[in-house]
Structure 1
Amino acid sequence: MSNPATPATPDLWSDLWTDQDREDVRRLQGPVWVVGAAGFIGAKLFFSLSRIRNDVYAVSRQAENSWRLLHSPYGNRLNLDITRGQEVVEAVRKHQPKTVFNLSAYGAYERQNQARRIHEVNYLGTLNLIQALAETGCDAFVHAGTSSEYGLNCAAPAEDDLLQPNSDYAVSKAATSYLLGYYGRLRSFPCTHLRLYSVYGPWEERDRLIPTLVRLGLQGKYPPLVDPAVSRDFVYVDDCNRAFVKAALTSCRQTPGRSYNIATGTKTTLADVAAAARRQFSIPDEPTFGSMSGRKWDLANWYGNPARAKAELDWESRIDFTRGLEVTAAWEREAEPHVRFAAVAPKTEKLSAVVACYRDHEAIPHMHERLTAVFRKLGVDYEIIFVNDRSPTNDEAVIRGLCASDAHVVGISHSRNFGSQSAFLSGMEIATGDAVILLDGDLQDTPETIEAFYQQWKQGFEVVYGVRVKREAAVHMQFLYKAFYRVLRHLSEVEMPVDAGDFSLIDRKVVDHLLRFPERDLFMRGLRAWVGFKQTGVPYVRPERMFGRTTNNFFKNIWWAKKAIFSFSLKPLHYIQGFGLALFALSMALSFFYLIYYLVSPPQNAPGITTIILLVLGLGGMQLLSLSILGDYLGKVLEETKARPRYIRAGIFSGRGDLHGEEEISRFLAEVRQTCRERRG
């Protein structure tokens, strides 16, 4: 097995390819896409190809935020979510790629355990690419499979042997191999499926075995190890990536739809790995095996059979494990200052905008455009959740159109109109961002103010709300709104900010607390104040509605005021009690006064009928008012004891499809909660 010489002055993006390998790259039809270039193998392939030609594109859902691509000298990057069919079609039509290497994957790591997402990315994403490329025409499509497709049948299986996948990830990759077989053999689509064994080398995830082994080996230590008999077939990444180029030039054209094992054919146990590390790094101690628990897919005889790849692709591994470990260690020394803080890929901040919509069909496209511009300016990942609260206009149709064209948009439709507070809560429940932004859909909550919200959030504030310093409305309405907030602040038993509506940015941990509140009769801005945490306000001018007329009126505003006061204050009851005590004291004082008066100067007739009538009417009115206040409080208690749902979703829709049934929506919510847990780390 020959080993090419290590470059005299290696850089972070160098490789061990030969002149012939580079000539093969020049023969590829362009433009060239590397889909999944944010990952380990994809990034390394992108770097190697980009050193030779300038029409290579790194394609990823978050290509701009990948820690591997962040400081790379190669700049052709394309953001694309392959699970969004229409988005894929538009990108393929625009760029017309001729050679596509698909290394996108989800589920290869234990932390990636959302079953639905695994199959969406690995199978449906590949199908979207194939169908779009079949329409425009491509020269080669090489797909990265996995040796995990063989599952329990793992000891040097041939490509046509029985597949026994033992995980969702393996099942999705095995299904994709059959998909490629069908499109290649029966529909003449130029594709190849490569079953990759244990690929290692520069730019691998920092918490994987070989990077951990090298990093600790340079310090003279071993990492925790499982059973020494556990084996792998280790393939150096540059060898692996040569196979992609070879497949694009051979099997895609000659035998489309075929699968190939990309392996060395050598069984390397963990005991062998530890011995190689000891030689390479002069580690003085003996390794401690069994110091960490094994994974459920760890097997004692996991190695490949590369015979078909050698015969048909003219490919074989050139870098043995000892040599690969040496080169990886050299790279680690060079790269350590750059990857020191990348124990795992850094988390990109994600913001979720929840927009409550009712009769806002004209404003929704403008809201989407302005929110998108703000989020892109901030350089964050984002999602925009439009909640159609059973609008009688065509809000849902407009939202569906945005979902079809933008992967960042999710729509919710309620079964009836539950009100904006329930709409906010419904959207918050499916939001996956590190912070959630609440906005009304009429554009009176200006998206551009989010920039100021974001800056305050970055400074450590966990709730940032908008303060309306000026409202473009009639003078009497401005006065009434200001009076309401000040009365509410006076009556409330918690510190309520004045002139602050629902428009706010709320940190994920605060959102999680709000979602746990069981109450049905919601007043979100009050709950936001009640939970506490570190809060601040950002002043902004609230404009008039851009389209249509407000859905509020005088009586609805009175209802809002009652809702707010009775939700966060018992002072009306205290005032009734105080008024009653005052009347009782007054009546006792008057009784004593009149008793003395009658004893001193007895009246000759019975005057005072007017006084009696006024007292009866006044006291009767106060009694009715008191009873109505008590009734409002009792009504709130009744609503809570009924424990009806705060909202019912008729459906959730996005570019990936619609969810309607209760079971589908419940499963989706479980995946959302899992995603939030993963983001928290």
Structure 2
Amino acid sequence: MKLISIVTPCYNEQDNVEELYKQVKAVFDNFSDYEYEHIFIDNASKDKTVSILKKLASTDPNVKIIVNSRNFGHIRSPYHALLQATGEAVILLVADLQDPPTMIKDFLVKWEEGYKVVLGVKSQSEESSIMFAIRKMYYNFINRVSEIDLTKNNTGFGLYDKKVIEILRGIDDPYPYFRGLISDIGFESYKIEYIQPVRKRGITKNNFYTLYDIAMLGITNHSKVPLRLAAMLGFAMSAISLLVAIIYFLAKMFFWNYFSVGVAPLVIGLFFFSSVQLFFIGIIGEYIGSIHTQVLKRPLVIEKERINFEKNQLNLLYNLAKNEVAISTSD
């Protein structure tokens, strides 16, 4: 039987984790060819999420829990959990039920056909139409400036073969842009469209800062266009400024008594150039911040505790012992 790992990051999802667990279990109850592990990684929730997960883990050994010592953010925590998975394939599934667990079956069908990556792509969403439109604009923009082809309208929801996970383990990125890494690896992916349902229970943990963080991470990790645009725009604006200065000088020379330079053009020009400079200084700061994070090389998360992972360790020891016996027998 093939082991499939389901990875679910959660933070303050007490209203959803048990329902998600039941839906995933119901999916695998209909499979005879697969066994599964459901890894929940909790980012130091302040509600009853952990206690609910521990109750589930006490009755079902397929439920495995990682509890972080603090909130390590929405980038590092899910990625760490993916690297802990031991299945032949790993499926990333968020806790808010906006990624339909019923699509697990479709993912596995395409995986068995040979695809190393199978992605869920939002064709429509029952969320705010404004937010969906903004996200769509961002995906279009980042695809234009990126050095690789990124999958539009994918949040990471999908299936990843163990070979992909092994490659990710070797990358050693302390603050990874997961969606970009998947595209960067280059395996052909199969995309399955779905309509994203609206969140029914709880509130979203995303805010302007977290969305901005993801957006800038995608740009700084996969594009040098903003930096080069700053250089090109600086050169162009310098040329325009010189041309305007020459025009003003000639106008004043020929129409000395009638042409008034005035203060308004100077003030407007000063504020315009200052705002452009501040914008590109901010862009450069984002790249420097990204470099700073890479240089620090801090761990993705610090675990407070983990539950039901002993089975993995025993299986690993068993497989190592079996391999040693096979080698000695062949000798």
Both proteins in one fold, TM over 0.5: yes
- What's the CA shift string for 1:174-211, capped at 9, x where partnerless? xxxxxxxxxxxxxxxxxxxxxxxxxxxxxxxxxxxxxx
Which of residues 123, 142, 145 is equivalent to 1:488? Answer: 142
The alignment partner of 1:502 has SS state of: coil
One-letter amino acid matched to 2:303? R
Q: Distance in 2 between matches of 1:527 and 1:492?
A: 12
- What's the CA shift string for 1:336-374, capped at 9, x where partnerless? xxxxxxxxxxxx222100000111122111111111121
1:619 CA drift (Å)? 0.2
1:394 CA drift (Å)? 1.6
Partner in structure 2 of residue 411 of structure 1: 65
The alignment partner of 2:212 has SS state of: helix
The 5 A counterparts of 1:47-58 are none
Q: Which runs of 5+ in 2 are unaligned?
A: 327-331
- What's the CA shift string for 1:606-655, capped at 9, x where partnerless? 52311011001000111111111111111111111111111111111128
The alignment partner of 1:440 has SS state of: coil
Partner in structure 1 of residue 297 of structure 2: 643
The alignment partner of 2:133 has SS state of: helix
Which of residues 71, 80, 86 is equivalent to 1:426? Answer: 80
1:673 CA drift (Å)? 12
1:593 CA drift (Å)? 3.3
1:475 CA drift (Å)? 2.0
Partner in structure 2 of residue 585 of structure 1: 239
Q: Distance in 2 between matches of 1:460 and 1:522?
A: 26
- What's the CA shift string for 1:494-549, capped at 9, x where partnerless? 10111111111001111111122222222211111111111121111111123111
**1:608 to 1:572, Cα distance in 2 relative to 1, 3 A:** same
Highest CA radius of gyration, 1 or 2? 1
The alignment partner of 1:378 has SS state of: coil
- Is the Cα–Cα contact under 8 Å of residues 463 and 534 in structure 1 kept in the other structure? yes
The 5 A counterparts of 1:598-609 are 598-602=252-256, 606-609=260-263
**1:673 to 1:472, Cα distance in 2 relative to 1, 3 A:** farther
Partner in structure 1 of residue 230 of structure 2: 576
One-letter amino acid matched to 1:608? G
Partner in structure 1 of residue 12 of structure 2: 359
- What's the CA shift string for 1:393-436, capped at 9, x where partnerless? 12111111111111211110001111233222222222111110
Cα RMSD over matched residues? Answer: 2.5
Aligned pair count? 322
Q: Distance in 2 between matches of 1:601 and 1:521?
A: 61
Partner in structure 1 of residue 105 of structure 2: 451
Higher RCO (CA < 8 A, seq sep 6+) = 2
Partner in structure 2 of residue 463 of structure 1: 117
1:656 CA drift (Å)? 5.5
- Is the Cα–Cα contact under 8 Å of residues 378 and 451 in structure 1 kept in the other structure? no
One-letter amino acid matched to 1:377? N
Q: Distance in 2 between matches of 1:411 and 1:501?
A: 22
Q: Distance in 1 between matches of 2:14 and 2:144?
A: 38
- Is the Cα–Cα contact under 8 Å of residues 383 and 410 in structure 1 kept in the other structure? yes
Q: Distance in 2 between matches of 1:488 and 1:461?
A: 25
Q: Distance in 2 between matches of 1:655 and 1:509?
A: 21
1:595 CA drift (Å)? 4.6
Q: Distance in 2 between matches of 1:582 and 1:655?
A: 59
Partner in structure 1 of residue 25 of structure 2: 372
Q: Distance in 2 between matches of 1:545 and 1:649?
A: 28
1:598 CA drift (Å)? 4.5
One-letter amino acid matched to 1:354? V
Matched, 1:557 2:229: no
Q: TM-score with structure 2 length normalisation?
A: 0.89
The answer to which structure has the higher helix fraction is: 2
Q: Distance in 2 between matches of 1:669 and 1:591?
A: 77
The alignment partner of 2:237 has SS state of: helix
Q: Distance in 2 between matches of 1:673 and 1:414?
A: 28
The 5 A counterparts of 1:472-483 are 472-483=126-137
Q: Which runs of 5+ in 1 are unaligned?
A: 1-347, 658-666
Which of residues 33, 39, 57 is equivalent to 1:385? Answer: 39
Q: Distance in 1 between matches of 2:259 and 2:244?
A: 19
Which of residues 328, 350, 356 is equivalent to 2:3? Answer: 350
- Is the Cα–Cα contact under 8 Å of residues 400 and 654 in structure 1 kept in the other structure? no
**1:443 to 1:598, Cα distance in 2 relative to 1, 3 A:** same
Q: Percent identity?
A: 27
The 5 A counterparts of 1:279-290 are none
Partner in structure 2 of residue 435 of structure 1: 89
1:377 CA drift (Å)? 2.1
**1:674 to 1:495, Cα distance in 2 relative to 1, 3 A:** farther
- Is the Cα–Cα contact under 8 Å of residues 492 and 565 in structure 1 kept in the other structure? yes
- Is the Cα–Cα contact under 8 Å of residues 403 and 655 in structure 1 kept in the other structure? no
The 5 A counterparts of 1:520-535 are 520-535=174-189
**1:378 to 1:571, Cα distance in 2 relative to 1, 3 A:** farther
Q: TM-score with structure 1 length normalisation?
A: 0.45
